[in-house]
Amino acid sequence: MTTSLYDLTISSSTGESINLGKFQGKPLLIINTASHCKFTPQYEDLQDLWLYFRNWDLNIIAIPSGDFGNQEFETNEEIRNFCLKRYHIDFILAQKSHVKGKQAIPLFQWLNKAGGYISKPRWNFYKYIISRQGKLSSWYSCLTRPSSKRFINAVERVAYDL
């Protein structure tokens, strides 16, 4: 398995390859998402977070997945249209991918290894905060809103390199 996050690539919702090495030295927030989940309104908070923290080099990557109750559209185009029209997101939206089990994409295999068994996503909208050094700083379940004080404090720690 790859030992560095920066050795990995993902595909955007439009099919473009994204080398995670381009985020070296920058904080990242990675979320597994779904369009038809009771937590989907968190997209709004994520967009607000992105607008505020992007000046501190924070990048947000949403990884849509149908792994939990098949709560995602079938095609990347449907997902992208939904996210743009409903939530006006302009952070990175990746291609629909598996985030759990043996089919998980390498990024989620890396996250699962970095955080251990307890950090594996058990539902949509698990949030993973990556430090500027490329290490998993903290993770939060779907129950933690991106607008919560606890979560914002964790993002501030990596954004401001505290």
Catalytic (active-site) positions: 37
Separation of alpha carbons 9 and 21, rounded Å? 8
Sign of CA dihedral 107, 112, 130, 148: positive
Which alpha helices (DSSP H) does 6-161 contain, by range?
Answer: 42-53, 76-87, 106-115, 149-159
